[in-house]
Structure 1
Amino acid sequence: MKRFRSPLRKFIAVLAFVSLASLISTAGAFPPPPRPDPEDWLAGMLWRIHGELNLNSEQDSLWKLAEDDTRQMLKSHRERFETARSDIESTLSDANGNLHTLFDKLDADKSNSEARMKQNRKLWLSFYDSLDAAQKKTVNAQLLAELDKMGPVDGKCRYTPGKAEGAPLPLK
């Protein structure tokens, strides 16, 4: 039983195998796609809600205040994370680095971050309190849809992927 009838077919089969092998071996050399920026995710989620609410001027000003504060908070979180990472690296690379001081600083940063998040939450809750019943129903439905996208929590306190799109907003 002759598998390849001509040297040309054998050459093409070898060439296909080599190209497939090189493609598979270089697939790991490329970096993974970038993770979505939390600010972009937040903006998308907020504008899906914003378009449905038909806000009055007072509600819109509270929305803008809370949204701007959230963007600033995310930016400061990112900066704080980068600073903490460089502090950790410098402390661990230093032979005389003091871990007690490092962890005291990280704990202080964590408590400051939690206080900042509570301030931001108060802004969003003041916006939520200004909404009427129909608007609150729309916001609650969107938040449930976002929660549904996350999926259930696994045994290691991580979210497993939920539905790809979540439930759509209710019709008016």
Structure 2
Amino acid sequence: MTKKWKLSLASVAAVFGLGIMFSSSVMANMPRHPDGTDFMPMRAIHDKLNLSEAQEKTWQALSQEGRTLRDGMRKEHEEMKAQLKQELDKSEPNFAAVAAKSDKLADERTGKMRHMRDEWIKFYDALTPAQKIIVRDEMKARLSKADKRWDRMKQRREKSGPN
């Protein structure tokens, strides 16, 4: 291997590694509820909705499915990190294999997430008009907060100048 090729390979490995480390630290630092579960925006309005028994049953089933999906995503993340570490221990890592597995998992995850979204939309469609207003107002408030955070981030970036 030429020196230039080794440097390029080291750069690719560094980018992969930084990406994994960053995503790990982001996941580790996500807000947590007192019961230990990750932040779930809809949880904030659960009590306001005054769900019927049937609605509550659906809510609980969808919430559990979401937790299962999230736990599976964390497991996949750890598997990908382990595979990358294994590849980096080799003299010539097979980044194509890592990328192929990552793409396969991402495609599967996208399908599962779309299914989850569609189930929540069905749940929303079955709510009463008063319940829908509560959901709408909560989503508007969250969108407004997100816009404000985004604006603050843009302002900080503009102040710090070009990278």
SS at match of 2:39: helix
Of the two, which has the highest radius of gyration?
Answer: 1
- Larger RCO, structures 1/2 (Cα 8 Å, 6+ apart): 2
The correspondence for 2:29, drawn from 28, 35, 52, is 35
Which TM-score applies when normalising by structure 1? Answer: 0.63
Q: Is residue 87 of structure 2 the alignment partner of residue 87 of structure 1?
A: no
Q: Is residue 97 of structure 2 the alignment partner of residue 101 of structure 1?
A: yes
TM-aligned CA distance change 1:142 to 1:79, over 3 Å:
same
Letter in 2 for 1:110: A
Q: Which runs of 5+ in 1 are unaligned?
A: 1-33, 162-172
Cα offset, 1:159, TM superposition: 8.5
SS at match of 1:95: coil
Give the whole-Å Cα distance in 2 for the aligned partners of 1:35 and 1:95: 34
Identical columns (%)? 24
The correspondence for 2:129, drawn from 114, 130, 133, is 133
Q: Which has the higher helix share?
A: 2
Give the whole-Å Cα distance in 1 for the aligned partners of 2:97 and 2:38: 35
Which TM-score applies when normalising by structure 2? Answer: 0.66
Cα offset, 1:37, TM superposition: 4.4
Over the aligned positions, Cα root-mean-square deviation in angstroms equals: 2.4
TM-aligned CA distance change 1:97 to 1:74, over 3 Å:
same
